[in-house]
Chains A and B, each alone.
Chain A
Amino acid sequence: MHKNKFSAPQTLKELSKALKTKKENCFIAAGGTDLAVKINKNRIFDYSIIDITKIQELEKIEMINNSIIIGACTTMQSIENSEILKVYAPALVKAASKVGSTQIRNRATIGGNIANASQSADTLTVLMTYNAEVEIINSQGKIVTNKVNDIVKGLEKNLLNQDEVITKIKFKVEDNELSSFSKVGARKAVTISKINCCIKIKINKSNLIEKAEVYFGAIGPKPIKSEIVENVLVGKKFSKEVLSVLLDKSSLQVNEAIPTRASRYYKRIAVKGLVDSILNDLIEQEQSLEGDLYE
């Protein structure tokens, strides 16, 4: 019997301590946007909660050398307004700005987005594109680092242990990197229409795409890497000309990922709109970057 226990640690130390007694039906609450709904929907009456939103150090966004570090309780709204992220991880800013509604963005956290591993979690697609890692603390106070990709199982399952909590998200950024994100399907009720995409590229001095990272979300239990699309980008000149082949390959990728699902007809076409808007965004970013590149 949990007798509706509620604790709100204020430091990581207190958090570890609280995790010592965590068992089934004890939930970690951050923004609550998914958890409160889940508890209510599944008619769970006997549960306890560890609220991590009072741990201040989990709300920071910082950049150390080439690494971006984001506290797990950082809200979508803070990500959307972060000057650092606007410059170094525009795709993440875009994804955060497209989550739910104003009310949800004010509460939903990036750590929660990962831990929930919802099939259509928008920021997951971006974080996987950036090959992001998470720092995890356990009940012993031990901190381990893992790839987001290895923690997320998808379909609302993660691979965290019972006594583990994500505390930080980290990824590396490089100069002259462009990234963008796009999605369709905003409401939870219409998951079937959902698909999202993140593209990150690095262009060199002669305007050739040196590296490309591409992920599609919501066409599998978790975001999938699209080598098909990455391969057509690498080595190409970065301009509007890559668009037509990009569109075809994206469609092909969707087809490969969901060859039998009924939504494939729709998604094969929807993906073209996504990729088109991403490319436009990247071209815009490139133009504003050009100054520093060629001077």
Chain B
Amino acid sequence: MIIRALINGEKINKDVDPNKRLLDFLREDMRLISVKEGCGEGECGACTVILDGKAVTSCTIFTGQIQGCEVVTLEGLDKSGELDKIRDSFIKHGAIQCGFCTPGMILSSKALLDKNSNPTKEEIKRAIEGNLCRCTGYNKIVEAVEEIVDSEVK
């Protein structure tokens, strides 16, 4: 099936297996390997991408369902330069250790910030509650996101 979609700002027009998980399509066909597979069950958030402005788990979506939609992965943020500030803040706060959860964490945070430029700590926590991290203990991640908020508000 021909899929037309906007992926990281680029129009694609590709013959793909529509029944494949979006996760597999992004990794295998699009080579966007920042998208990680953790649980494959919608529980860990490692595969999070932004679909039409909303954070979603790409392991629970069929590729055919993105017809006409817009998808953003970490590579997209990198390309548009939006990643720099977030990455710096994550590094500064020690919010990255093994890094496996990081792409998903950043995309969940980004989806929140796009809608709400001044979220409370609770709102940040809620936005990333679907992203599991075995390393950092979450506090550092919340702090990193808070700093992005502060620097944006200033």
Considering only residues 239-281 of chain A, those with a C-beta below 8 Å from chain B are none
B residues within 8 A CB of A32? 60-62, 65
Q: Which of B60, B108, B126, B129 is A36 in contact with, Cβ under 8 Å?
A: B60
The 5 A-B residue pairs whose C-beta atoms are closest, nearest first, are: A101-B130, A6-B18, A6-B64, A106-B54, A4-B19
Cα distance, A272 to B37, chains bound together (Å): 38
CA distance A1 to B141 in the complex (A): 47
Question: In the complex, what residues of A have CB within 8 A of residue B60's CB?
Answer: 31-37, 104, 107
The reply to whether A8 and B67 form a contact with Cβ atoms under 8 Å apart is yes
In this assembly, does B153 line the interface, its C-beta being within 8 Å of a C-beta of chain A? no
Interface residues of A in 80-130 (CB under 8 A from B): 100-104, 106-107
Tell me whether A101 and B62 are in contact (CB under 8 A): no
C-alpha gap A96/B112 in the complex (Å): 18
**A187 and B67: CB pair below 8 A?**
no
The reply to whether A107 and B56 contact each other, CB–CB distance below 8 Å, is yes
Identify the stretch in B25-33, B39-47, B70-78, B81-89 within 8 Å (CB) of chain A at 4 or more residues.
B39-47
Name which residue of chain A comes closest to B68, CB basis: A54
Stretch binding the partner chain, chosen from A43-51, A63-71, A140-148, A149-157: A43-51
Q: Which residues of A are found within 8 Å of B126, using beta-carbon distances?
A: 102
- Do residues B61 and A106 form an inter-chain contact, with CB atoms below 8 A? no
Query: Does A182 have its Cβ within 8 Å of any Cβ on chain B?
Result: no
Distance from A146 Cβ to chain B, minimum over Cβ atoms (Å): 27
B42 touches A6 (CB 8 A): no
Determine the chain A residues whose CB is within 8 A of the CB of B43 once the complex forms: 101, 187-189
B130, A104: Cβ atoms closer than 8 Å:
yes
| Residues B19 and A49 in contact, CB atoms below 8 Å apart | yes
How many whole Å from A188's CB to the nearest CB in chain B?
6
- Beta-carbon nearest neighbor of B1 in chain A: A6
Contact A29 B21 (CB under 8 A): no
A288 at the interface (CB under 8 A from B): no
A residues in contact with B65, CB < 8 Å: 8, 29, 32, 51, 53
Question: Would you give 29 A-B contacts (Cβ < 8 Å), ordered by A?
Answer: A4-B18, A5-B19, A6-B64, A29-B65, A32-B61, A33-B57, A36-B42, A36-B59, A36-B60, A36-B62, A37-B40, A37-B59, A37-B60, A40-B59, A47-B19, A51-B62, A51-B65, A101-B43, A101-B130, A102-B126, A102-B128, A103-B57, A106-B51, A106-B55, A107-B61, A187-B43, A188-B41, A188-B43, A189-B43
**CB of B48 within 8 A of chain A?**
yes
Provide the residues of chain B in CB contact with A37, threshold 8 Å.
40-42, 59-60
In the complex, A48 Cα to B130 Cα: how many Å? 29
- Please give, as numbers and ranges, the residues of chain B lying within 8 Å of A189 by CB-CB distance: 43
A77 in contact (CB, < 8 A)? yes
**A135-179 contacts to B (CB < 8 Å):** none
- Residues of B near A51 (CB, < 8 A) are 62, 64-65
B19 near A102 with CB under 8 A, answer: no
Known contacts A49-B18, A102-B127, A102-B130; A54 and B67 CB within 8 A of each other: yes
**B150 close to chain A: CB less than 8 A:** no
Give CA–CA (A34, B21) in the complex, Å.
13
A48, B57: Cβ atoms closer than 8 Å: no
In the complex, the answer to whether A8 meets B64 with C-beta atoms within 8 Å is: yes
Report the Cα distance A151→B91, complex, angstroms. Answer: 51
Most chain A beta carbons < 10 A, residue from B17, B19, B64, B111? B19
- Is the Cβ of B45 less than 8 Å from the Cβ of A103? yes
